[in-house]
Amino acid sequence: MTRLYCPVTADGVAALATSVLTVEAAFAVTDDVRALAPDGDEELHEHIATQLAAAGCAGRRVVVVVVDVPDARVRPAASTGGGALPGRVVVDGDVTLRDVACFLVGDEGEQVNDDADLELSWYDASEIDAVRALL
């Protein structure tokens, strides 16, 4: 299984609650993420992937859904011009609430900032209604 960190909108969370989510963007702990902190442990690499996903929420409330999908459904993102973002992957097929490990939500009004890590609150997958209420 591969753990993915996916920036989502309120509509994406609503879709997960009722049916499936088509993943528009996803990040994972890949070799290029590990290269950003070569002496770091897996927890640090997961944090980096989370922050990369959170950056995908620029201009809106930060919500990252963390999902686990079979390895065979994940492939590297194709490079475009300047190359793919570190950790960027493509997931084949939709995800369901059963795939969700948790939600990570930024405070209301908190903006993505390249200079600082975002503080994100953790919500279990079973708390999807609470996440929806925040949005």
End-to-end CA distance of the chain: 29
In this predicted structure, what is the pLDDT of residue 79? 64
Q: Taking the CB of residue 32, how many other CB atoms lie within 10 A of it?
A: 14
pLDDT tens for each residue of 47-74: 999 999 999 898 889 999 999 999 999 9
Measured distance CA(92)–CA(118) in Å, rounded: 28
Q: At CB < 8 A and 24+ separation, what contacts does 75-78 make?
A: 76/30
In this predicted structure, what is the pLDDT of residue 73? 97
Q: What is the pTM of this model?
A: 0.92
Measured distance CA(62)–CA(26) in Å, rounded: 14
In this predicted structure, what is the pLDDT of residue 81? 56
Q: Taking the CB of residue 7, how many other CB atoms lie within 10 A of it?
A: 24
Mean pLDDT in the chain?
92
In which residue are the tokens 């908190």 written?
Answer: 110
In this predicted structure, what is the pLDDT of residue 82? 57
pLDDT under 50: residue ranges of the chain:
none
In this predicted structure, what is the pLDDT of residue 110? 79
